[in-house]
Structure 1
């Protein structure tokens, strides 16, 4: 049985059992940017140097090799016919949420077929990558790819957005997109460049400037990009709803020395909940340089899988001079202790590239927090 993707290392198994397949597998391995292991039939091992962690030889039958790769790798490239690959994989398949991506390549190297987990697992992208390296043609049969429309389960993936919906809602929303039913999109946060094509969105998909406008529309499905936790179920009760959580919120935080991570976690969660914000949208935590090495802050960032950034006192103090309206007030106590007029608010603003705070400073006995929403337009303009 395949392990869940979150627990499977991001690496590719390249498997070949013919002479031509072995030759192409070596070519692919030499051009790959991914971490891989090359599995070759022992009969076609050509070089004694083909050894170590990146190479394994095997004797037939092939099934045990495929079963092991299916369980231990996030993606597989098999130089094998589609029919033979399907017969080998059939007993192993579980669901697209956990199955690895599988691409098969014919023995002439003409076609690279995205076979299993095309969208969620990334087989469509892998097939295109393999085809590019081998000079082959990628064969992708996903409906959204074939028709050039939006892939509901992939929207924002390149930015790290999280999809919040059960499999039924995803399937129904995808069907609405593909079948030409009216679908509405509203975006309240996150990166703006989620439609990568030069052509306009399909006619059945409309981007609404206001959530209320989408709610009042005749759309069958609603795709909502937001970092807030409002009552969407009530507002969009008559629509198939899929919510996307962009990494759009940054936290500025200051604390006294030795404050335990549990206390900081409680402050973080409480502040997000009070302000109707989703912790799934946390993009980073920022503080003063003097707090580098503070265990509680380091552990908090690690818990949430986000970077912890630091600003010099001069950078933090400059915000009070250049953007006095964006911060609430100077702290004489903080200036006396660590040489800054404040930490949480200016750190959040600097990290977000924003001109205003989403949540002004909240203070407890031993810590402070402020929240800003990332300014993606400014980030794009500076790149």
Structure 2
């Protein structure tokens, strides 16, 4: 797992080490500088020395860092990296710089992993030429696998479908786009190419004229409502889920209530942005585990914040026990910034749940 957000910079030649030191001071991100031992004694350098051969170092950095800059020929880098390649979703971004400092080459995990942007930043510092070959970049078209990434949108389609739809976009085939949820200003950063057309209805989206589709939604559509074309489904983070529960409720009960509710209302679990509850539940294991399973944060609110929101639907046990008008409904409203719920309080034997749509993604 590539956990470190710092950039690992590796140089094995004297000329490369000079540029690596220059890069380390010029980049705006934290840099871990690795120099061959004979070159690491430069005055003022905070480099980490390593002994040749460089392969063991590269093997370790490949799994520990998200970004690598290698001052070496592209061919040498390819041979070093080849045994460790997995997929563009898992591999780190890798940029190569030649010994003359003329080119910064985006070698691996280009736009998805960030190597394209990194190559341009490296080139800026070294006054080199960035070399980027990603099709969406060179053709100035839509990057299907990056759409909505800055907002945290999730792609629910498998990589094969993403590849097929990306090919349709790049090759100029007619592609339909339908959005019924989530942030809409993404088009300011990613103008649509002429072959991608915005649809106003599912009927238009399902026209047989389209070769592929881009569907941005927080709802679950019956698969029979979609035709057989390859369709990439994006899940914008639009839902705040308010949660209330008795002490020591089981995580399975909470998870079951959530899934039954979302299935019943046709809502996508992948579009949950956060859970929300009263601050007295900070140590409630079931809520923490559910958040971990969903990979979302938990927002905690004190009694005053909950009492400032509209009251619950029906009687609330929280009024007597906790001194608040309710937990799940006001917590969902507080987290979303909205005044309306899309799912009013539902119950299991030991838990309650309510859902509101985020006001910034409505």
**TM-score higher than 0.5 here?**
yes
Map of 1:362 onto structure 2: 346
Q: Which of 214, 225, 229 is the matching residue for 1:223?
A: 214
What secondary structure sits across from 1:74 in the alignment? strand
What secondary structure sits across from 1:202 in the alignment? coil
Map of 1:295 onto structure 2: 285
Map of 2:33 onto structure 1: 38
- Structure 1 moving runs of 4+ over 6 Å: none
Map of 2:227 onto structure 1: 237
Q: 5+ residue gaps in structure 1?
A: 379-383
**Is residue 113 from structure 1 mapped to residue 97 from structure 2 by the alignment?**
no
Q: How does 1:41-80 map to 2 (within 5 A)?
A: 41-47=36-42, 55-80=47-72
Return the alpha-carbon distance in structure 1 between the equivalents of residues 118 and 226 of structure 2.
36
**Is residue 352 from structure 1 mapped to residue 336 from structure 2 by the alignment?**
yes
Map of 1:328 onto structure 2: 313
**Is residue 372 from structure 1 mapped to residue 356 from structure 2 by the alignment?**
yes
Return the alpha-carbon distance in structure 2 between the equivalents of residues 318 and 354 of structure 1.
13
Map of 1:338 onto structure 2: 322
Q: Which of 258, 266, 273 is the matching residue for 1:276?
A: 266
**Is residue 168 from structure 1 mapped to residue 153 from structure 2 by the alignment?**
no
Q: Which of 240, 258, 271 is the matching residue for 1:250?
A: 240
- CA distance 1:357–1:23, change in 2 (3 Å): same
What secondary structure sits across from 1:194 in the alignment? helix
Return the alpha-carbon distance in structure 2 between the equivalents of residues 245 and 276 of structure 1.
13
Residues 315-335 of structure 1, C-alpha deviation per residue, up to 9 Å, x if partnerless? Answer: 322222xxx7xx534x35432
> What TM-score, normalized by structure 2, do the two folds share?
0.91
> What TM-score, normalized by structure 1, do the two folds share?
0.86
CA contact (8 A) 1:252 1:345 kept: yes
CA contact (8 A) 1:172 1:240 kept: yes
Return the alpha-carbon distance in structure 2 between the equivalents of residues 291 and 87 of structure 1.
52
Q: 5+ residue gaps in structure 2?
A: none
1:152 Cα deviation from its structure 2 partner: 0.8
1:176 Cα deviation from its structure 2 partner: 0.8
Return the alpha-carbon distance in structure 1 between the equivalents of residues 101 and 129 of structure 2.
9
Map of 2:205 onto structure 1: 214
Q: Which of 6, 16, 23 is the matching residue for 2:11?
A: 16
Aligned length: 362
CA contact (8 A) 1:192 1:376 kept: no
1:49 Cα deviation from its structure 2 partner: 6.9
1:253 Cα deviation from its structure 2 partner: 1.0
Map of 2:306 onto structure 1: 316
Q: How does 1:127-142 map to 2 (within 5 A)?
A: 127-142=119-134
Map of 1:204 onto structure 2: 195
